[in-house]
Amino acid sequence: MNVQQVRQQIINMPQFKDFKFGDKDNYAIMEVSPRTFRDENKKEFKLLSPYSIFIAHMYEGEVGKEFFYILISRRALVREFRKHLYDSIEFNKIYVSGKTVEEVVSNLQEKFDNGYEFV
C-alpha cells in the first residue's frame, strides 16, 4: 500500500479527470476560472487559485498506526461587509482519512455522494 495506489484510484474517479498529476506525485492541481461572489451576509469571496489535492501516507510500515489522508482545497480571499482588508482562507476544503487505500478512497467517494462539488 502506498500513495501511488491511492493516486491511481483517484485518477480513475470521474470527479478528478481534470486534475494534473505528475508521474509519481502525491500533489496535483485542477485549473478553474477565477470567481468573485457575495454570500447572504454580504461577505465578498475572491476564488483565485486552482483546486489542489494532496495525498499522504503516515507511519508507513508501522502496524496499527499507519493511515492515509487526502486534502482538497482552493485558496481564496474573503472580506467582511464594509471592511477594506481581505483575509486568506482555504475555501471548500475537505479532509478524508483511512487506514487502507480502499478505505480512504471510499471515504472520498462518500463526500461526493453526499453532495460535495467543486465550485
> Taking the CA of residue 105 as centre, how many other CA atoms within 13 Å lie in the half-sphere pointing to its CB?
19
Quick check: 72 and 51 in contact, CB under 8 A?
yes
What would the DSSP string read from start to end of 53-72? EEEEEESTT-TTT-EEEEEE
Tens of pLDDT along 11-46? 899 988 889 987 778 899 999 999 999 999 999 999
Beta strands 20-21 and 27-30, pairing class: antiparallel
Tens of pLDDT along 49-71? 899 999 999 887 777 788 999 99
